Chains A and B, each alone.
Chain A
Amino acid sequence: MTADLSPMRPTRDPRVTLDDLLEVVLNKGAVLHLDLIVAVADIPLIGVSLRAAIAGMETMLEYGMMRHWDEDTRAWAERSTARRALDLEEDENVVCRMSGGHLLTESLYHGWRPGTVYLTDRRLVVLRDEPREILWETGLDAVTAVRLEPERTVGGEERLRLDVALADGGQERLSAREPGELHALLTEACAGRPTPALPFAFRSPAEEDPPLAEGHLWYHEPRRGGPLWRGGQGRMTADRLVWKSPVDSRPALVLPLADITAVRRVPAYSPAGEDGLIAVHTTAGDEVRLAADDPAAWTERLRAAGAATGPVAAGPVAAAG
């Protein structure tokens, strides 16, 4: 490849873009007012627009089989929605999915958070449907034991819960519509995996870097039209702070802790309240703005981590590198 530094030009060549174009035309574009579409007598156009709205690339693949779409569209749309609910990794497959929940015990709020339990061939995940957020997840290789435990519900009923013991010593409790089935499938899925006793840990250090801190954070994302506060998940490991929104496919912020020069609290408006705002200064001269419900804790962690890895200053003034 030659080092041509003139700006790349976009292509409209249909040989390159046709699939993307199909997706965009079938998926997007204004749709006439629903009332009008429904009112188009005897033409169940709603089928078409629903399909287009939900579908993605599958749409055009399945367009060829549209003969029976009128009755099939609903069933198909439902399947399609389910498939899109959890973002799967490459080669990852869903083993089972059922309604359930995760018992949150680690923060101030202690209680059941309902959602959908997904068992894949790699992970066990509890996903909240709306707004979509992963409430809890673990890789199957971190699961050391699984057992069913009876629990008396508020209503006095006895229900079976699923207790999951993890390699890091932690234990989590899940509810599930079919706890027995989930237990059986999970046990089976874990049995096929190398045990921690093997001399070669299956987990790679790069991937499983344990978080020093993890929790909800707001990120003031810079944009052309002015910055925008967005909610998401912050995760601080030994060498970096990563922030990711549940609607993005990857993190919008990856900040090496070694680049932090100063961390300070700023008394200004933020979605986390009057004193939730944290400004992080970097070696590049940027200021990254975050907001947290527990700003003191995050500030401390960032300062401590920055001090360990980089030229962080505890005060409001950035220290020289």
Chain B
Amino acid sequence: MTEHTALYVYALLPDRPDAADGVTGIDGRPLRLVRVPGTSVAALVHDAAPTPLEGGDDQVRRWVEEQSRAVDTVWERTGSVLPMTFNVLVAAEPSPEPSPEDGTAAGTAAGTPVGRSAEQRLTEWVTEQAADIGGQLEGLAGRCELRVDITVDRTAATAGGTGGAAEGAPEGGPDGLSPGMRRLMEKQREHRARATAGQLADTLHAETRQRLLAVAEDYRDRGPTHRVAGETDVLCAALLVRREDIDAVGAVLTDLRARQPAVRVRFLGPWPPYSFIDTAHRARAEEMAP
């Protein structure tokens, strides 16, 4: 049951004989390259049992980190990779049933009742897709993914702003404000702070997006991810940039921070271009969704 008849695939990359030397992956397993004759593509794999990885959150976190570290190392060496998502396994083809309807299915014309090995299947698949894969590897060479996450701190953004009237109202007494009315006014004040921050966020988003688009070769709006109380999302994007342009992106962010002290910026990367892999296959997967 624990036979290593499958391949866990980390990435496809330009075939460089030493690319996987000394690299370890999930659970410290040594990685190797499956080279695909007749193409310039290789796959980074470890030999695995034909069962997907399952585990608790912390364990999955650790695995993902290990997987990503391995892909990073190889990416640094080859300058281009097509990373796989988590848990991509290619299993050996099961041995044909004793009396299969279509005797040729297993592709073992010689008559040996054995299915193709995982390595054969992977190699055949890469060979079939070689032109597409090679094109993508070439297109992404020298490029990396950066992630930019911008929010505004509502308190800082609206300080001295519209909140004054409600706060300045005298306690109880002359105005006879009931607790309910007071609560309502407090809600209104908060509502206004959100609206003001939202307008500021719109403006900052438009101008920052435009400046980032002038540098990046590709751009994916990711929608907000990190929700922090008291902050309003401005922009959250993955950028595909040439390595030499990383500083140009940094300069845009530095400038924004200098002009708008209320903004909070997270700037992550550089990573292999996970978000910019041609999604043709994914689209097909989604078509299959229930």
Residues of A within 8 A of B210 (CB): 221-222, 252
Q: Is A43's CB under 8 angstroms from B91's CB?
A: yes
Residue pair B83, A249 in contact (C-beta under 8 Å)? no
Interface string of A188-228 (1 = CB under 8 A from B): 00000010001010101011000000000000011111000
What number of A-B contacts does a CB cutoff of 8 Å give?
257
Binary flags per residue of B218-239, CB closer than 8 Å to A gives 1, else 0 = 0101011111000011111010
Residues of B within 8 A of A78 (CB): 290
B275 and A28 contacting across the interface, CB-CB below 8 Å: yes
- Hey, what's the 0/1 contact readout for A1-35 against B, CB within 8 Å counting as 1? 10111111111101011111111111111111110
Q: Are B223 and A33 in contact (CB under 8 A)?
A: no
For the complex, what is the distance from the CA of A63 to the CA of B254, rounded to whole Å?
37
Q: Interface residue count for B (Cβ, 8 Å)?
A: 104
**In whole angstroms, what is the CA distance A314 to B281 when docked?**
51
A82 to chain B, nearest CB (A): 12
- A25 and B162 CA atoms in complex are apart in Å by 43
Closest to B50 in A: A43
Whether A252 contacts B277 by the Cβ 8 Å rule is: no
Interface: A74 (CB within 8 A)? yes
Chain A, Cβ-Cβ closest to B274: A28
Looking at the assembled complex, report how far the CB atom of A251 sits from the nearest CB atom of chain B, in whole angstroms.
Answer: 5
A64 at the interface (CB under 8 A from B): yes
A53: CB under 8 A from chain B? yes
* A29 CA to B88 CA, complexed, in Å: 10
Cβ contact within 8 Å between A10 and B236: no
| Contact A204 B286, beta carbon cutoff 8 Å | no
Q: Of B125, B145, B235, B236, which is within 8 A of A36 by CB?
A: B125
Using Cβ atoms and an 8 Å threshold, which residues of chain B touch A198?
184
Q: How far is the CB of A214 from chain B (nearest CB, A)?
A: 15
Q: Which of A39, A52, A66, A223 contacts B54 (CB 8 A)?
A: A66
Are A224's CB and B254's CB within 8 A? no
A236 to chain B, nearest CB (A): 14
Q: Known contacts A25-B67, A200-B185, A204-B195; is A30 also within 8 Å of B82 by CB?
A: yes
Q: Which residue in chain B gives the minimum CB-CB distance to A44? A: B52
Within the assembled complex, what's the spacing in Å between the Cα atoms of A190 and B32? 63
CB distance from A39 to the nearest CB of B (A): 8
Measured CA separation A28–B93 after assembly (Å): 26
Seen from chain B, the residues whose Cβ lies within 8 Å of a Cβ on chain A are 6, 9, 12, 50-52, 54-57, 60-61, 64-65, 67-68, 82-91, 93-94, 121, 125, 129, 145-147, 162, 181, 184-185, 187-188, 191-192, 194-196, 198-199, 201-203, 205-207, 209-210, 213-217, 219, 221, 223-227, 232-236, 238, 246-251, 253-255, 257-258, 261, 265-271, 274-275, 277-278, 281-282, 284-286, 288-290
- The 3 A-B residue pairs with the shortest CB-CB distance, nearest first, are A7-B250, A207-B195, A250-B205
